[in-house]
């Protein structure tokens, strides 16, 4: 390969969502908040992070509660899980509303007869680019979903989670370095790490772990929407020569949800092919 040719990391079976399950989550009951997905182009959309996580966890033996603001999208994820022989239920909830969060966690706990895992895959980026264009409305709307919602989800779920459970916050490399040009988004994603540490400390009394996964540039419907609005995103140089797939993010989260990471808590993992470290 020449010095100027860009290396492209070939996708694995895991990258494509084709690897078989290995019973890593047998008997686990997991609530995935944000388990549906956005639509960019229905004919060509790849799998989103939340849907990939939900399907993968079910393939690994877990029973799922799939929550999403878009009830139809949550139901579609559940249908995909059931068609593959898994068990799941759908919950419609808008995490910008406290009452919806309270109901969502209660329904998941009752429907699954307990909870052993919680994944918080929620996040929005709204408003104009740049600090000079920040409005109070956009700031408050962003933090309501990206930060306040995870706080309230943990408040409701922590007493219901079984001892030894796991919580995973989905942040972004925007929480590790500037880049989105949306101050509220960057600030809220960075703040998730502080929240995670507090939850990890409180949870440690019952062996409940909490960790953060920070995806880099990922080829999902949401990612394609972002690239359409900011074309420079799609042109960003990436060490592995391509964007991640939703499945590759899901496998990182699987590590934290499973007992393979039983001695890991209070940590942040960037899944970005080294984009933030190289």
| pLDDT tens-digit map of 118-169 | 999 999 888 888 889 999 999 999 999 999 999 999 999 999 999 999 999 9
Domain ranges within the chain, ordered by starting residue: 29-271
pLDDT above 70 coverage of the chain, percent: 98
Q: Which two tokens stand for residue 80?
A: 């995909």
- Nearest Cα residue to 73 out of 92, 98, 52: 92
The answer for 28, left when phi > 0, alpha when psi is -120 to 50, beta otherwise, is beta
- pLDDT score at 1: 47
Which stretch of DSSP H or E encloses residue 87? strand 87-92
- pLDDT score at 226: 78
| Strands 63-68 and 87-92, bridge-based pairing | parallel
Res 84 pLDDT > 80: yes
- pLDDT score at 4: 57
E-assigned strand segments in 157-251: 161-170, 209-215, 218-219, 244-245
The answer to whether the beta carbons of residues 176 and 276 sit under 8 Å apart is yes
Judged by average pLDDT, the poorest of 1-5, 169-173, 202-206, 273-277 is 1-5
Distance of CA 228 to the CA centre of its chain: 21
Task: Quickly state the pLDDT bin for 47 (edges 50, 70, 90).
Answer: very high
- pLDDT score at 228: 79
Task: Quickly state the pLDDT bin for 7 (edges 50, 70, 90).
Answer: confident
> Which of 3.30.465.10, 3.30.1450.10, 3.40.50.720, 3.40.50.1240 would CATH assign to domain 29-271?
3.40.50.720
The answer to whether the beta carbons of residues 104 and 120 sit under 8 Å apart is no
The answer for 39, left when phi > 0, alpha when psi is -120 to 50, beta otherwise, is beta
- pLDDT score at 254: 98
- pLDDT score at 210: 98
- pLDDT score at 230: 74
- Give the Cα separation of 160 and 101 in Å (integer): 14
Q: Which two tokens stand for residue 201?
A: 């400390």
Query: Residues, the chain, total?
Result: 278
Highest mean pLDDT among 59-73, 115-129, 235-249: 59-73
- pLDDT score at 129: 84
- Nearest Cα residue to 261 out of 197, 206, 212, 223: 212
What SS3 state is found at 252? helix
Res 27 pLDDT > 80: yes
| Model pLDDT for residues 94-123, shown as the tens digit of each residue | 999 999 999 999 999 999 999 999 999 999
- pLDDT score at 273: 94
Q: Would you name the residues annotated as active-site residues?
A: 185
| Model pLDDT for residues 188-200, shown as the tens digit of each residue | 999 999 999 999 9
Main-chain dihedrals φ then ψ at residue 209, nearest 5 degrees: -100, 155
Main-chain dihedrals φ then ψ at residue 127, nearest 5 degrees: 100, 180
- pLDDT score at 188: 95
Task: Quickly state the pLDDT bin for 57 (edges 50, 70, 90).
Answer: very high
- Give the Cα separation of 220 and 193 in Å (integer): 23
Main-chain dihedrals φ then ψ at residue 161, nearest 5 degrees: -70, 140
- pLDDT score at 250: 98
Between residues 38 and 204, the one the model is more confident about: 204
Name, in order, each residue with C-beta under 8 angstroms of 26's C-beta and a sequence gap of 6 or more. Answer: 60, 61, 62
């Amino acid at each position: 390969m020449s010095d100027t040719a860009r290396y492209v990391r070939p996708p694995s079976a895991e990258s494509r969502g084709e690897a078989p399950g290995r019973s890593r989550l047998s008997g686990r009951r997991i609530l995935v908040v944000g388990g549906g997905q956005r639509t960019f182009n229905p004919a060509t959309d790849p799998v989103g992070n939340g849907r990939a996580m939900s399907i993968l966890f079910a393939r690994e033996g877990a029973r799922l509660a799939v929550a999403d603001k878009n009830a139809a999208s949550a139901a579609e994820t559940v249908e995909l899980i059931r068609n593959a022989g898994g068990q799941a239920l759908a919950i419609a909830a808008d995490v910008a509303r406290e009452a919806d969060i309270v109901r969502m966690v209660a329904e998941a706990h009752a429907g699954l007869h307990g909870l052993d895992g919680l994944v918080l895959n929620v996040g929005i980026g709204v408003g104009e680019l740049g600090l000079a264009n920040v409005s109070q409305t956009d700031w408050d709307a962003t933090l309501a979903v990206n930060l306040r919602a995870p706080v309230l989800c943990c408040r409701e779920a922590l007493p219901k989670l079984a001892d030894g459970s796991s919580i995973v916050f989905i942040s972004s490399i925007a929480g590790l370095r500037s880049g989105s040009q949306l101050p509220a988004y960057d600030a809220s994603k960075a703040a998730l790490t502080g929240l995670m540490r507090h939850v990890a400390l409180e949870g440690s009394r019952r062996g409940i772990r909490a960790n953060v996964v920070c995806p880099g540039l990922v080829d999902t419907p949401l990612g394609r929407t972002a690239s359409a609005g900011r074309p420079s995103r799609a042109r960003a140089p990436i060490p592995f020569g391509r964007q991640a797939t939703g499945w590759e993010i899901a496998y990182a989260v699987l590590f934290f949800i499973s007992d393979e990471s039983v001695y890991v808590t209070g940590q942040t993992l960037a899944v970005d092919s080294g984009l933030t470290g190289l």
